[in-house]
Amino acid sequence: MRIDGHVHFVGDGSNGSGCWLRSSTLLDRIVEPIVKVQAGISKSSRQLGIDQAYEQRLIGLIDDSSLDSVLLLAMDYPYDEDGNCLKEKAKFYVPNDHVLGLKNMLRSFLPALSIQPVRMRSKNWNDVQKKEPKC
């Protein structure tokens, strides 16, 4: 079995995913269109939004490759040592629930949840994996 073990999902929340990208600096705004072109979603993201355009692009890339699956990564917020959420330092955010939902869309998506150890409040894995941060 061939698996790509490090694939990030990136979205803008345009389909209700809860994902977001920060484009707050001049450099962010300059780089964003370049990244869209490199990802192959420049035109489709204008019509569909980044979420759906990137989902479709990933499916196409996987279908056209020799890969059987990809480990699709969620992205939590950064936290300081005291467990305080540092949302303002994040460049992008992908909720665990969205990555879990994408698994239902395509068998080749293997969800990889993102849980910062400092925010874990529960010893029960089922509670932790569904718990989205409150920032």
Strand order in the sheet with 3-8: 3-8, 69-73, 109-112
Predicted TM-score of the model (pTM): 0.82
In-domain check, residue 135? no
| Structural domain contains residue 113 | yes
The pLDDT score that the predictor gives to residue 105 is: 84
List of the chain residues with pLDDT < 70? 118-135
| pLDDT at position 104 | 86
Domain count within the chain: 1
Domain contains 20: yes
Is residue 24 in some structural domain?
yes
Query: Residue 9's domain spans which residues?
Result: 3-130
In a domain, 89, yes or no: yes
Neighbours of 106 (CB within 10 A): 15
Residues in the chain, overall count: 135
